[in-house]
Chains A and B, each alone.
Chain A
Amino acid sequence: MPVSLLWAVDVYGRVYSLSTVGQQWEHCRNTHLEFKRVTAAQQCCWGIGCDNSIYLNVHASDLPVRYQEDTYENQRWNPVGGFSERLLPSDRWQWSDITGLQHQPMASFQLPSSSWEWEGDWFVDENLDGEPTEKEGWTYAMDFPATYTKDKKWNSCVRRRRWLRYRRYKDMDTWAKIPSQQTALPDPFSDISCGGWEISEEPRGRLSLWAVSLQGKVWFREGISHHNPEGSSWVEVPPPGEVVQISCGPGDLVWAVLWEGHLIVREGISRDCPRGTSWAEVESPSPQVGAIHVAVGVNVVWAVTKDNKVWFRRGVNSHNPCGSGWINMVGEMIMINVGLNDQVWAISCEDRLVYFRQGVTSSELSGKTWKAISIPRDGERSHSSASANSQHSAGCFFSSEVRAPSVVSDAELDLEHPPGDVAISNVTFPGPDSFVDAPTNSSSSQPCEVVPDEGEADVLSSNSDVTITGSGGPPDPQWSNVDLEEAQIQNGQTGAVADSVDSCSLSSVATYSLAMEDQYGVDEHPLWAWVSGGGCSVDSHSQLNWFTMLQSVQSMSLSMTPAQTAAWRKQIFEQLSERSKREMDNFRHYEQAIEQSVWVKKGAMQWWRDWKPHKWMDVHFALEQFSGAEGHKDGILFIYYNYYEEKKYLHAFINEVTILVPVLNDSKHTFAIYTPERTKQRWPIRVAAGTELEMYDWLALLSVSCCDSRGIYGSPSKQAIWSITCKGDIFVSEPSSALEAMPYPTPCDQMFWRQVGGHLRLVECNSLGIVWGIGFDHTAWVHTGGYGGGFFQGLASSTDNIYTQTDVKSVYIYENQRWNPVTGYTNRGLPTDRYMWSDASGLRECTKTGTKPPSPQWTWVSDWAVDYSVSGGTDREGWQYAADFPASYHGFKTIKDFVRRRRWARRCKLTTTGPWQEIPPIPLSDVTILPCAAQSSVDTVPVWAISNKGDVLCRLGVTLLTPADLRLLALKYQSALSPSAGDCWYHIPSPAKQKLKQVSVGRTSVYTVDENGNLWYRQGVTPSYPQGSSWEHISNNVRKVSVGPLDQLWIIADKVQGSHSLSCGTVCHRLGVQPMEPKGQSWDYGIGGGWDHITVRGNSMEPPRICLPSMTEPSPRAAHTPPPTAP
């Protein structure tokens, strides 16, 4: 889990954040403001300041917020002066947008707010659809509007070029006020809630922000995305009554509380319509007591009623956003908030602490118990000297609650000390006339000194009057704050007097702040007013350090990083090793007291028998372990079976096993055991255990035995070769120096692979030991240097450096329909048609209910939803049309289309552990790390990556110690697919009619793989001419290629024939690669099938006894290492 923050506001209006790895609340110091409420997302936090303005705090990250502005310069040729800016009257503007319809001179571009700055001046874009243009960037056409080409022809009468300028959001990590552009500004905001980031991934960083104004209106902020964090404008969404509070979940749930205590639910929220279409009403949990607060997550709704009781709504999901019924929960809370993963945070009514709901899982959404977060705040002691200013203003808006018990006397005081700031706020607030109570309320949050002033009494009393007159109807609607309502309920009996107390309670600042200091001294725990977990990524498995200070002892005992080593621990280690020397080293010739006896583990398993017909048969499985020669442990694996009533067995020596591969599917828990012989046959020993647990037990044990017998312990070396199966399992092999030896390298099928915990789609490394991986969900991960994790336990796993790793992928099914003249499209197909619910091929039936996650490791995390991101496009409902099944589908209906289909996606999630740490924030689709020679002294290298949006990114200065730190430079460039190439971009045409999908570059060789599985070698690449001259076809059936720093060539190949079977996804090694023969001669086949990725870029070990001709000239990559400049 990456580090994330929980946000909270205390009763003084101070904003604090608590890191998931931290142990104290950090005061958000970069603001002089006090806040009423905050609402957090992972990338930012919104807040309502006490001046009632909305503030935004965008978290600084590696990914800068940059926005590209562009405008087009248009010119027409005329016979006299050539191309000039004189256009025909019928032509477009000289400066326009891409369509030519909009007049866009450079000067018309303004920064949207003071939070932005220009990154540089305008410059010409010298690219046309990824192809470089001439120096000036002009593109030519016959006339406007037309197709533009980069070449000037005889008939090119017009030309245009594109100018670019970047602006950057600069106010990172500070509270920046959202400018109020609109003249008709809504009245002051009283509540705010953000969410909706799961509705759609486009555009990146999209958020829904809902706000409630003092008048009970509901507003929606349009246009918030990564590139426009502030959003563009407010749109009113009229509710059926006066809303006091609103909550928006990460998905499509939005609930609000009405003034009367009912709740309303927004319906019709979807990808196309994030604002929703209508409101539905839900009764308050308790008929007598109305609701005052609601909080929603993805599939949960929690509410608080006016008596502080907590309620959980049953049966809520995106199809039924209203849910089915209320359940009363334990605890009395003043507010509640649902964060990520439906985790619940609340502030207790009794002690004002922040509570975390423990045990909330997807199967038990209501959790188990409330647990207080009782940790200190930073500079806990310093608060006594907090400025009077902050105390006062804080007192303003939370006073009523504290004061409530002594109603009458305070009320009198209030009238004697009217607030001095009422008048001020009268002035500051736009449109206070529209609602008479507004000034009072706004004053509540003005951070002003109290100046008791008789002159203001009139204002106050008039306010009170109004309130009292209005008391026949609903009580003052401005008390949308939970705390204040609470006070109001208590005051209810005292009638009109109490009412007036409420409305002017804010004036009692002076008395109040004194009382405050008495009552809650600085040593008291903080009193919280608001909490938001929307950015806080925890789940029921997370280890949090928040609940007790004693944790520190525990964490000490687990972590072993040298920096933290306490003196006592260092001493123990030193003494232990000294003692071992003393007591053992001179006595190694002594016999061991205990002979390593044979140790046997047995079990009942099933075995996929070797002879036909192949089927699972029950066998006895046994591992015998003993001490082999030279003290290595060794063992033999036995499979005892019956063959026509005759007892037989099959055995494998543990030191011959090359790999153990778990193969989980929904029916059997199996794993495969390979030896070199079995690898040649493409026919492993396949065994199935009764339960998943048993399978992992065996795998862990066998894996340790194999490592023991080969003397392989600890973390993978820097030279290690990494590979990944199509299931996402990660394997690593320690190369011997003979692996690349000439002419007799170690055969590829003898390589020993061991599994490392975690789950990745691809992995890349270099010889400095920097290893990056990318998950199926495009999350980037860096190897922490540990080993084990996952099912490895005990000694097979390092204790530190193991973290929780999650991965998410989508399962797709297709809904197919056929048109008939009577009813239109229906789910009744022809008898010859495919299943109406099927997989992509249509051959297999896949219903919504019958489709399971890919293996038991995966669990569903979302419901089925229409997938619009299908190649070919879809209509608004996600349908794609075609003349018949199977055919090419298009995203619009024509007269000839008789069938249609749409894709449904459901996300599933896998949670495991492994030596990997997340590198937020950019989702990546590919990555490469500059390789280094073994003897190289370089210790920082650039990491190049391609984001899942096709941007080329470079991270500079990556070292082994800080493999994931530092800045990521984002380079907007043409959509590239694989980032192995250098960095002065030359456009290199693909081989004829082939679309390249991957490239890998070694010391002197460049190889690419195209979409049809062909492997190409770039000929004529020299240091002075790195572009090379032409492509040469090497092989087909290639899935991936990896060229190492020694130019060694490894691939993942499909369709490798073994003696028993055929395998797809096989690791292959090119033999005979030499400086004079860089393409090598033949393939040597290693482990497979089911392999999907390999990287040999860490193996820079020169093979023995071979003298390479000196490479005095730098390699093409090295020649271009200076960091690229942004275009």
Chain B
Amino acid sequence: MLLHRLVAVSPMLLCACFCLVSFPPNLLQLLLPRVSYLPVVTDKVKKHFLKVMRPEDVEEMWFEYEGTPLKWHYPIGVLFDLHASNTVLPWNITVHFKNFPDQDLLHCPSNSIVEAHFMSSIKEADSLKHKSQVVNDMQKKDHKQLWMGLQNDKFDQFWAMNRKLMEYPTEDGGFRYIPFRIYQTLSDRPFIQKLFRPVSPDCNAHTLGDLLKEMYPDALTNDGEQKRYQVLIHGIEPLLETPLQWLSEHLSHPDNFLHICVVPVPTD
């Protein structure tokens, strides 16, 4: 719980600077929760910029960082780690109200789409962790509480419910499979997601290193080699011997997935 507090409540904020593409000097500085989604937290952005926009110029809002359109369905922290982890803060995001890049981004007409996406992620994660038993046992209002907690930045409300999703029978030693996604910057594949158990057949706890070795061996640094990649979770580089089950319980995003970003080591 202590860590939940660390990750999910206070220090999860990330500073960001929004600027409108058509009016570059117009800036909005905001602290964003790392674990949330852009459409959920950008009401203020929209309001702020709509004041200076002509109504006819306003289409669906989207965001871009250094030429890359930002996928709203990735958690904000993942977007940052993936695209801007080694840059100087604040994170300068450009806001667009025109020319929606249909080929890169999903449309997001309302927050209910985000909610649907979020809930489907939770359900997917639970199907991996508990064969969907926990999430199916929950009532509609419990699902709602998860979403409302995230939406309103009420993480104690969120955790009160999410706790159930993080339980497992002690004799199993962990979840059935670890819900994880590995993102790479230099690939066309959106992310790697496969079945991976928290415990090896001979009852040893799998570590982050074990996972990468199997899923993405390139991310690991071999002996004598220069380190090429950083493995980031929530903006930090956990040691490769960190048990995967522990990571999944404590450093998963609210959607219950462990989002792992593999980014090249900055060259400078």
Contact = CB atoms under 8 A, between A and B. Distances in A.
Interface in A898-937: none
B14 A584 contact: yes
Nearest to B76: A593
B30 A794 contact: no
Q: Tell which of B1, B151, B160 has the most Cβ of chain A within 10 Å.
A: B1
6 contacts: A557-B249, A568-B243, A575-B238, A583-B11, A587-B31, A592-B13
Given A590-B31, A596-B153, A579 B235 contact: yes
Contacts of B30: 590-593
B15 interface: yes
A592 B31 contact: yes
Interface size class for chain B? 35 or more
Interface string A547-564: 111110110110010000
A599 B157 contact: yes
A579 B159 CA distance: 22
B205 A553 contact: yes
A794 B159 contact: yes
Interface in B111-138: none
B163 A550 contact: no
A525 to B, nearest CB: 15
A617 B44 CA distance: 44
A572 B238 contact: yes
Given A590-B15, A593-B44, A568 B33 contact: no
A795 interface: yes
Contacts of A547: 170-171
A317 interface: no
Contacts of A971: none
A588 B13 CA distance: 10
A569 interface: yes
Q: Tell which of A551, A590, A592 has the most Cβ of chain B within 10 Å.
A: A590
A153 interface: no
A560 B250 CA distance: 13
A962 interface: no
B52 interface: no
A587 B15 contact: yes
Nearest to B48: A591
Contact of B237 (A575, A580, A583, A798): A575
B171 A560 contact: no
A794 B163 contact: yes
A587 B249 contact: no
B245 A572 contact: no
Q: Tell which of B163, B245, B246 has the most Cβ of chain A within 10 Å.
A: B246
Given A543-B170, A590-B15, A599 B31 contact: no
Contact of B33 (A571, A593, A799): A593
A553 B2 contact: no
B6 interface: yes
Given A584-B13, A584-B31, A557 B6 contact: no
Interface of A: 543, 547-551, 553-554, 556-557, 560, 567-569, 571-573, 575-580, 582-584, 586-597, 599, 704, 793-795, 797-799
Nearest to B89: A583
Contacts of A584: 11, 13-15, 31
A577 B11 contact: yes
B159 A569 contact: no
B154 interface: yes
A568 B241 contact: yes
A108 B245 CA distance: 69
A568 B250 contact: no
Contacts of B44: 591, 593, 595
A583 B235 contact: yes
Contact of A572 (B29, B157, B163, B242): B242
Contacts of B172: 550
Interface in B152-199: 152-154, 156-157, 159-160, 163, 170-174, 198-199
B142 to A, nearest CB: 13
Interface in B1-53: 1-7, 9-11, 13-15, 29-33, 36, 40-42, 44
Nearest to B207: A568
B29 A591 contact: yes
Contacts of B251: 572
A26 to B, nearest CB: 22
Given A553-B198, A590-B30, A594-B41, 14 more contacts: A548-B203, A557-B246, A568-B239, A569-B242, A571-B238, A571-B239, A572-B3, A587-B89, A589-B29, A591-B31, A592-B153, A599-B154, A793-B163, A799-B1
Contacts of B106: none
Contacts of B29: 587, 589-591
A550 B174 contact: yes
Nearest to B38: A593
Contacts of B151: 594
B254 to A, nearest CB: 14
Contacts of A543: 170
A577 B203 CA distance: 33
A780 B251 CA distance: 39
Interface string B209-247: 000000000000000000000000011111101110110
B61 to A, nearest CB: 14
A737 B190 CA distance: 58
Contacts of B153: 592, 594, 596
A593 B90 CA distance: 14
Nearest to A371: B171
A580 B34 CA distance: 11
Contact of B236 (A576, A589, A594): A576
B160 A794 contact: yes
Given A553-B245, A576-B234, A579-B11, A587 B90 contact: yes
A799 B2 CA distance: 8
Nearest to A550: B173
Q: Tell which of A553, A593, A594, A597 has the most Cβ of chain B within 10 Å.
A: A593
A543 B237 CA distance: 33
Interface string B80-112: 000000000110000000000000000000000
A915 B148 CA distance: 31
B28 to A, nearest CB: 8
B14 A583 contact: yes
B89 A557 contact: no
A594 B239 CA distance: 33
Contacts of B5: 795
A795 B29 CA distance: 30
A952 B13 CA distance: 56
Contacts of A793: 160, 163
Contact of A548 (B32, B163, B173, B235): B173
Contacts of A576: 6-7, 11, 234, 236
A269 B146 CA distance: 58
Contacts of A594: 33, 36, 40-41, 151-153
Top 5 nearest A-B pairs by Cβ distance?
A: A550-B173, A580-B11, A587-B15, A575-B236, A593-B41
A547 to B, nearest CB: 6
B91 to A, nearest CB: 9
Contacts of A798: 1-2
Nearest to B159: A794
B17 to A, nearest CB: 8
Contacts of B32: 593
Nearest to B9: A795
B236 A553 contact: no
A554 B156 contact: no
A572 B235 CA distance: 10
Contacts of B174: 550, 553-554
Nearest to B30: A593
A556 B156 CA distance: 23
A580 B5 CA distance: 13
Nearest to A571: B239
B160 A553 contact: no
Contacts of A560: 2
B235 A794 contact: no
Contacts of A595: 44
A367 B14 CA distance: 52
B51 to A, nearest CB: 15
